[in-house]
Amino acid sequence: MSLPMRLSDALWRRPRVLLLLLLVPPLLWLGIVYLGSLFALLAQSFFSIDEFSGLINYEFTLRTYGELFRAANLDIILRTLVIAAAVTIAAAVIAFPIAFYAARYARGRWKALFYLGIMLPLWSSYLVKVYAWKLILAREGILNWLLETLHLDWLLAAYLSLPVLGGNSLSVSWTGTFLVFLYVWLPFMILPIQAALERIPPSMLEAAGDLGADRGQTLRYVILPLALPGIVAGSIFTFSLTLGDYIIPQIIGTSARMIGQAVYQFQGTAGNIPLAAAFAVVPIVIMGIYLTVARRLGAFDAL
Amino acid sequence: MASAISFEGVTRQFGTVRAVDSLDLEIAEGEFFALLGPSGSGKTTSLRLVAGFERPSAGRVRIFGQDAGATPPYRRPVNTVFQDYALFPHLNVRDNVAFGLRVAGKPRPERYRAAEAALEMVKLPGYADRKPSELSGGQRQRVALARALVNQPKVLLLDEPLGALDLKLREQMQEELKSLQRSLGITFVFVTHDQGEALSMADRVAVFNEGRIQQVGTPVEVYDSPATPFVADFVGSSNVLPSSIVARLTGHRHPASLRPERIRLAEAGLAATVTGASFLGAATRLFVEAEGARMSVLLPKGALVPDTGSEVRLDWDADALHVMTGAQDG
Amino acid sequence: MHSDRASLGLKIAAIAGLLFLHLPILLIFVYAFTTEDTSYQWPPPGLTLRWFAVTWNRPDVWEALSLSIRVAAISTAIALLLGTLCAAAVARSRFFGRETVSLLVILPIALPGVITGISLRSAFNLAEIPFSFWTIVMGHATFCVVVVYNNAVARFRRTSGSLIEASMDLGATYFQTFRLVILPNIATALLAGGMLAFALSFDEVIVTTFTSGQQQTLPIWMLEELVRPRQRPVTNVVAMVVVLVTFLPILGAYYLTRGTDTVAGQGK
């Protein structure tokens, strides 16, 4: 009997071995390269840094986690959460009509167009998208030009004078950061909502109409509850991506930091790996809570 | 006759569930054999044990006397027609049918000739260049049949082969399968949940319930002399009289099966109350209750249908009442 | 309601949303032709093709591009192998810990990139692995697995399990079954997954900043330009080319999986 035949026989006799052979390479890679690194990082969050020598003190301590609760660091965490929440809500509001139209009304050619119209921005280079907004928000850029041409520049000036939201120009304001986040993550919100909406059988909407619901009532009592898992699924992306990003706020925004930037700077310029690790745990914990709640709401069926 | 397939105390366990529970069964060479039972009764698992897709947790499956325990599916002299046909979507009909010869290393002209012949046999010549997705359900079924037969198996296994077809096509295919089996002279083992199909096609039937065989016999034996109340009810939905009534009528303390079409309304006999009736077209089914037992009576076309609530008397020929001496009240 | 036409408000909101997604990208295309080279002035004072020639002659851009392509190609190859194996195991059998395996595959992309990046960096430091081409590949392959996995697992699910049984029933060994039945049936899904993995790797910047040492992939080159703009016109041209280059695999993946119930690319 030939060797392949003999190997094949052996695999049939021991189906578990086949399964093991399939699983071992990916699990080795992800287990060692990825999980190994992740645990190595998390382990370091239980060390501390010697404030005088700047060296890492390899003794178990919760002191580093305690530092997270300093006012400055707490500020960073809260700020990031507020931005992430704002981006998520705005993305849901803008995404819903697009997803709704694409799922329920677009047919044939239009359907394909909508699909690609969402996929192409989703997959376009992240940096290019950020760069595009740098062009748009620049002082000499298209937005200011447009407002000047329409003689609405006083409106922008008034807006920029607002505390917190405003600033010297849009590209160094929280509004700018928010806009870019919203733009970059929006497709991640549209797709799961569209998937959820497409699963609603049309007969269900007809039944709602048949029972006397008008458009608004159908939307409110039938479509929205059924789309909720999709919205929650989308919010997982927008929320998680905003929590961990450090490039967008660095390029467009104020000098106040977000979690991602803090992690980046503590491990880089500051050389405080334990604190960076502890900061990295924050989004993991937040997303852990978020995912648990989302699972309860059935969001994973919409992924 | 030599035995083609034999199960010797075969058990197949999935977790804590025994899909097949200490099965003993002999299927003779050249037989058209039906495994009949409701879904989850273990009939499909039994078939898969023969094909080699499942392996017994205990016991032994023999194919032509040889223990198949160490033989993978690709070296068993059996082929399968799958319930969903499992045609390869990326291959056309010719390559689907010739697949078995291809993996056996037969040269192209030979395997294409054999494929054409097999398609001829299942009355589907001229379809060789189509893709499976371009065929109707009935045509796919024939391709699946041709593909399984081209390897010239000694035993053909059919898993609910007609389940997905509509009624007319099903009746036609029953006839064709029957004559195909007669002309090839090989053993056919087929799984079905349709008792009518099993009775009309098979030489012998094994009735399964909850992983165990309830009865093995010819269609006539299974229908006229059900061994257990389950068989009586599942095969042709018989009335099962409780042992209390049977004891009074015959003296045996066992339940008995009484076919609805063997009962007539008469002047004297078992007293019963009519509880309802439903019109079936060729006959009318009358629902009655006698001494606490619900029964149904099949009235021939033209017979007078008594009103609901009226009292009737039920009578039958002595041989119509089959006492299940091996069974107790369920 | 289903057959009704969409209300005007919905239509406007949907189209406005799509425009919001696309106009900024189109803007990049205009800037690639502007004659202005020191600011982001709008409208462009004039149009020129000059910057394409300038960019063409920039060795640093070519080096970054070449590195990005090599990294993406090798990461994609690793991801194809690992993702397919994992999908085959998860789709074909129910085993203890099946959910955990899916979670493990998705985790590198579900957690913020900064965490994956810093984890790998500190692990490389601890293991005293010097930063190189291969450290970049290790990072990229890790998060590309999920894209291949998603595509492959969807196709495996659609491919009826009885096809494999049918093949073996007809006399094919495991290896023949893989070559003659499984591979032809999952090929387009793998190709689509591979294209998406390539696009993902080609564009990745966050993890790369942590694992690249001195080498510059194209996104790292762009990031430098974004933080400290030196060659605005060259950046404009590179941005436009990057958009065009990433569109190709996305369109390809879309056409490969069109008409199936899971279209590629939803799991970025």
pTM (2 d.p.): 0.83
Specify if B251 maps to a domain: no
Read off φ and ψ for residue B284, nearest 5 degrees.
-125, 135
Best residue in C4, C19, C31, C42 for a mutation probing chain A (most A CBs within 10 Å): C42
**B300 and A CB contact within 8 Å:** no
Q: Which residues of B touch A9 (CB under 8 A)?
A: 70, 72
**E strands present in C134-204:** none
Chain B's closest residue to A1, CA to CA, is: B75
Residues 6+ positions from C190 with CB-CB distance below 8 Å: C80, C84, C148, C151, C152
Chain A's closest residue to B68, CA to CA, is: A13
The per-residue pLDDT for C268 is 47
Q: How distant, in Å, are the alpha carbons of B122, B148, B215, B222, B241 from that of B253?
A: 52, 49, 21, 21, 11
The per-residue pLDDT for B193 is 93
Least confident interval from A227-236, B28-37, B140-149, C214-223: A227-236
Among B231, B246, B269, where does a domain finish? B231
What does the pLDDT average to over C111-116?
85
Residue B5 in this model has a pLDDT that exceeds 90? yes
Q: Which residues of C touch B78 (CB under 8 A)?
A: 169
Q: What confidence category does residue C55 fall into, taking pLDDT thresholds of 50, 70 and 90?
A: confident
Same domain, B30 and B150: yes
The per-residue pLDDT for B91 is 94
CA–CA min distance A238, chain C (Å): 11
Q: Which residues of A touch C88 (CB under 8 A)?
A: 22
**C60 and B CB contact within 8 Å:** no
Under 8 Å CB pairs connecting chains A and B tally to 9
Read off φ and ψ for residue B5, nearest 5 degrees.
-125, 135
Chain C's closest residue to A29, CA to CA, is: C142
Q: Check C165 against B89: CB less than 8 A apart.
A: no
Amino acid at residue number B6 = S
**Contact at 8 Å (CB) between B202 and B298?**
no
Residue B154 in this model has a pLDDT that exceeds 60? yes
Rounded to the nearest integer, the mean pLDDT of chain B is 92
CA–CA min distance A112, chain C (Å): 9
Chain B's closest residue to A6, CA to CA, is: B72
The per-residue pLDDT for B205 is 96
Specify if B301 maps to a domain: yes
Q: Which residues of C touch B51 (CB under 8 A)?
A: 165, 169
Specify if B236 maps to a domain: no
Rounded to the nearest integer, the mean pLDDT of chain A is 86
**B106 and C CB contact within 8 Å:** no
Q: Check B74 against C172: CB less than 8 A apart.
A: yes
Q: What confidence category does residue A301 fall into, taking pLDDT thresholds of 50, 70 and 90?
A: low
CATH code, domain with B302:
2.40.50.140
Same domain, B187 and B289: no
The per-residue pLDDT for A298 is 64
What does the pLDDT average to over A167-194?
89
What does the pLDDT average to over A136-154?
87
Identify any residues that bridge with B81 across adjacent strands, giving them in sequence order.
Answer: B158
CATH code, domain with B7:
3.40.50.300
Q: What's the CA gap between A215 and A210, in Å, rounded?
A: 12
Same domain, B193 and B44: yes
Under 8 Å CB pairs connecting chains A and C tally to 272
What does the pLDDT average to over A158-170?
82
The per-residue pLDDT for B289 is 93
What six digits make up the tokens of C73?
A: 């190609």
Rounded to the nearest integer, the mean pLDDT of chain C is 85
Q: Check A13 against B73: CB less than 8 A apart.
A: no
Q: Tens digits of per-residue pLDDT, B259-312?
A: 999 999 988 889 999 999 999 888 899 999 998 889 999 998 888 889 999 999
What does the pLDDT average to over B127-156?
93
Comparison of pLDDT for C105 and A53, the residue scoring more? C105
**DSSP letters along chain A, please?**
--HHHHHHHHHHH-HHHHHHHHHHHHHHIIIIIIIHHHHHHHHHTTSEE-TTT--EE-S--SHHHHHTTSHHHHHHHHHHHHHHHHHHHHHHHHHHHHHHHHHHT--THHHHHHHHHHHHHHHS-HHHHHHHHHHHHSTTSHHHHHHHHTT-HHHHHHHHTSTTT--SSGGGSHHHHHHHHHHHHHHHHHHHHHHHHHTS-HHHHHHHHHTT--HHHHIIIIIHHHHHHHHHHHHHHHHHHHHH--SHHHHSS-SS--HHHHHHHHHTTS--HHHHHHHHHHHHHHHHHHHHHHHHTTGGGG-
What does the pLDDT average to over A216-244?
85
Q: Check C222 against A131: CB less than 8 A apart.
A: yes
Same domain, B136 and B61: yes
Same domain, B66 and B210: yes
Interface of A with C in 54-73 (CB under 8 A): none
Q: Of A116, A96, A88, A198, which is closest to residue C13 (Cα–Cα)?
A: A96
**A3 and C CB contact within 8 Å:** no
Specify if B225 maps to a domain: yes
Same domain, B124 and B200: yes
**C173 and B CB contact within 8 Å:** yes
Same domain, B207 and B263: no
**Contact at 8 Å (CB) between C241 and C221?**
no
Q: What confidence category does residue C3 fall into, taking pLDDT thresholds of 50, 70 and 90?
A: very low
Residue B143 in this model has a pLDDT that exceeds 90? yes
pLDDT more than 70, % of chain B = 99
Chain C's closest residue to A5, CA to CA, is: C173
Same domain, B270 and B136: no
Interface of B with A in 171-230 (CB under 8 A): none
Helix (H, G, I), strand (E, B) or coil at B204: strand
Q: Check A9 against B72: CB less than 8 A apart.
A: yes
CA–CA min distance A194, chain C (Å): 11
Chain A residues near any Cβ of chain B (below 8 Å):
8-9, 12-13
pLDDT more than 90, % of chain A = 17
Strand order in the sheet with B283-290: B264-266, B311-315, B270-279, B283-290, B293-300
Q: Check A34 against C142: CB less than 8 A apart.
A: yes
Going by their DSSP bridges, the two strands A56-57 and B3-14 should be labelled as unpaired
CA–CA min distance B72, chain A (Å): 6
Read off φ and ψ for residue A56, nearest 5 degrees.
-80, 130
Q: Tens digits of per-residue pLDDT, C137-195?
A: 999 999 899 889 988 888 888 777 789 999 999 999 999 999 999 999 999 889 888 98
* CA-based torsion, B203, B204, B209, B210: positive or negative: negative
Same domain, B264 and B131: no
The 8-class DSSP code of residue B325 comes to T
**E strands present in chain B:** 3-14, 17-28, 32-36, 58-63, 66-67, 78-81, 155-159, 187-192, 204-209, 212-217, 239-241, 256-258, 264-266, 270-279, 283-290, 293-300, 311-315, 321-323
Terminal alpha carbon distance of chain A: 47
Amino acid at residue number C98 = R
Best residue in A12, A17, A18 for a mutation probing chain B (most B CBs within 10 Å): A12
Most confident region among A33-37, B113-117, C50-54, C209-213 by mean pLDDT: B113-117
Same domain, B180 and B303: no
Q: Tens digits of per-residue pLDDT, A20-32?
A: 898 999 999 998 8
The per-residue pLDDT for C1 is 41
Q: Which residues of B touch C185 (CB under 8 A)?
A: 88-90
The per-residue pLDDT for C48 is 85
Specify if B245 maps to a domain: no
Same domain, B285 and B227: no
Q: Given the structure tokens 């529970």, which residue do they identify? A: B21
Specify if B243 maps to a domain: no
Q: Which residues of A touch C219 (CB under 8 A)?
A: 125-127
CA–CA min distance C169, chain A (Å): 13
The per-residue pLDDT for C4 is 56
Q: Check C10 against A97: CB less than 8 A apart.
A: yes
Read off φ and ψ for residue A50, nearest 5 degrees.
-75, 120
Specify if B49 maps to a domain: yes
Q: Which residues of C touch A98 (CB under 8 A)?
A: 13-14, 17-18
**B69 and A CB contact within 8 Å:** no
Q: Of A185, A193, A230, which is closest to residue A88 (Cα–Cα)?
A: A185
**Overall number of domains in chain B:** 2
What does the pLDDT average to over B186-215?
94
Q: Check C168 against B73: CB less than 8 A apart.
A: yes
Helix (H, G, I), strand (E, B) or coil at C126: helix
What does the pLDDT average to over B104-112?
94
Same domain, B204 and B265: no
Residue B148 in this model has a pLDDT that exceeds 70? yes
Residue C266 in this model has a pLDDT that exceeds 50? no
Q: Residues C65, C70, C72, CA angle at the centre, nearest 5°?
A: 95
| Number of C-beta neighbours around residue C267 at 10 A | 17
The per-residue pLDDT for A15 is 83
Amino acid at residue number B102 = R
What six digits make up the tokens of C124?
A: 């490389």
Chain B's closest residue to C170, CA to CA, is: B100
Interface of B with C in 309-328 (CB under 8 A): none
Q: Tens digits of per-residue pLDDT, B37-88?
A: 999 999 999 999 999 999 999 999 999 999 998 899 999 999 999 998 999 9
| Number of C-beta neighbours around residue A5 at 10 A | 16
Comparison of pLDDT for A101 and A202, the residue scoring more? A101
Specify if B97 maps to a domain: yes
- Helix pair angle (C232-257, C183-203), 10° resolution: 160
CA–CA min distance A186, chain C (Å): 8
Q: What's the CA gap between C164 and C180, in Å, rounded?
A: 10
Residue C238 in this model has a pLDDT that exceeds 60? yes
Structural domain that includes position B296: 258-323
